[in-house]
A and B are shown apart, each in its own frame.
Chain A
Amino acid sequence: MDMPFATRRRRDLIVAACLAVIAALVPLFVKDVYVQNIMVLTLMYAALSQSWNILSGYCGQISLGHALYFGLGAYTTAILFTKFGVLPWFGMLGGGLISAVIAMALGYPCFRLRGHYFVIATIVIAEIALLLFQNWNWAGAALGIDIPVRHDSWLNFQFTRSKLPYFYFALALACVAWLVTWWLEDSKWGYWWRAVKDNPDAAESLGVVVFNSKMGAAAVSAFLTAVGGSFYAQFVSYIDPESVMGFQFSLLMALPAVLGGIGTLWGPVLGAVILIPLTELTRSFIGGSGRGVDLIVYGTLIVLISLARPEGLVGLFSRRRKAMVR
Chain B
Amino acid sequence: MTAETIIQSLASGLLMGLLYGLIAVGLALIFGLMDVVNFAHGEFLMIAMYATFFLFAFFAIDPLLAAPLVAAALFVFGAVVYLLIVRFAVRAKANAGMVQIFSTFGLAIVMRGLAQFFFTPDYRSVTHSWLGGKTISIAGIFLPVPQLVGALVSIAAFAALYFFINRTDFGRALEATREDAGAVALVGIDKNKVFALGWGLGAALVGLAGAIMAVFFYIYPDVGASFALIAYVTVALGGFGSVFGAFAGGIVVGLVEASTALILPPSLKSVGIYAVYLLVVFIRPRGLFGSI
Contacts and interface: CB of A to CB of B under 8 A. Distances in A.
Given A117-B281, A299-B107, 19 more contacts: A112-B282, A116-B37, A119-B37, A121-B281, A247-B225, A251-B109, A262-B98, A291-B116, A292-B114, A295-B110, A296-B110, A299-B109, A302-B103, A302-B105, A303-B85, A307-B89, A307-B103, A310-B92, A310-B96
Contacts of A294: 113
Contacts of A258: 98, 102
Contacts of B109: 251, 295-296, 298-299, 302
A131 B267 contact: yes
Contacts, number: 140
A310 to B, nearest CB: 5
A154 B108 CA distance: 41
B68 interface: no
A293 B113 contact: yes
A62 interface: yes
Interface of A is mostly: helix
A117 B107 CA distance: 21
Interface string B210-250: 00000000000100010001001100100010000000000
Interface stretch (A73-81, A122-130, A159-167): A122-130
Interface string A271-310: 0000000000000000000111111111111111011001
A307 B112 CA distance: 20
20 contacts: A62-B98, A116-B232, A117-B286, A121-B278, A127-B229, A251-B109, A258-B98, A292-B112, A295-B112, A296-B113, A299-B108, A299-B112, A300-B106, A302-B102, A302-B105, A303-B110, A306-B98, A310-B98, A310-B99, A311-B95
A300 B107 CA distance: 7
Contact of B277 (A120, A131, A299): A120
Interface stretch (B10-18, B156-164, B268-276): B268-276
Contacts of A299: 106-113
B101 interface: yes
Nearest to B86: A307
A113 B281 contact: yes
Nearest to A312: B95
Contact of A124 (B233, B285, B287): B233
- Chain A CB within 10 A, most for which of B115, B221, B277: B277
Contacts of A124: 229, 233, 274, 277-278
B142 interface: no
A150 interface: no
Interface string B74-92: 0000000000010011001
A298 B108 CA distance: 11
Contacts of B111: 299
Interface in B112-163: 112-117, 120-121
B188 interface: no
B1 interface: no
B97 interface: yes
Report the contact-size class of chain A (Cβ under 8 Å from the partner). Answer: 35 or more
A125 B268 contact: no
A283 B96 CA distance: 31
B97 A115 contact: yes
Report the contact-size class of chain B (Cβ under 8 Å from the partner). Answer: 35 or more
Contact of A307 (B99, B113, B285): B99
Top 6 nearest A-B pairs (CB, nearest first) are A292-B116, A295-B113, A299-B109, A302-B106, A299-B110, A303-B106
B282 A292 contact: no
Contacts of A85: none
A76 B161 CA distance: 50
A212 interface: no
Given A62-B98, A247-B225, A135 B267 contact: yes
Contacts of A113: 281, 285
B212 to A, nearest CB: 25
A117 B114 contact: no
Contacts of A237: none
Nearest to A308: B88
A120 B27 CA distance: 14
A124 B226 CA distance: 11
A326 interface: no
- Chain A CB within 10 A, most for which of B37, B98, B274, B275: B98
Contacts of B281: 113, 117, 121
Contacts of A114: 285
B121 A127 contact: no
B24 to A, nearest CB: 12
Interface string A4-32: 00000000000000000000000000000
Given A114-B285, A290-B121, A306 B102 contact: yes
Contact of A119 (B101, B103, B115, B286): B101
B93 interface: yes
Given A292-B221, A302-B109, A306-B102, A135 B268 contact: yes
A93 to B, nearest CB: 29
A261 to B, nearest CB: 9
B3 interface: no
A135 B277 CA distance: 21
A275 to B, nearest CB: 12
A307 B113 CA distance: 20
Interface string A258-275: 100011000000000000
A302 B275 CA distance: 31
Nearest to A311: B94
A109 interface: yes
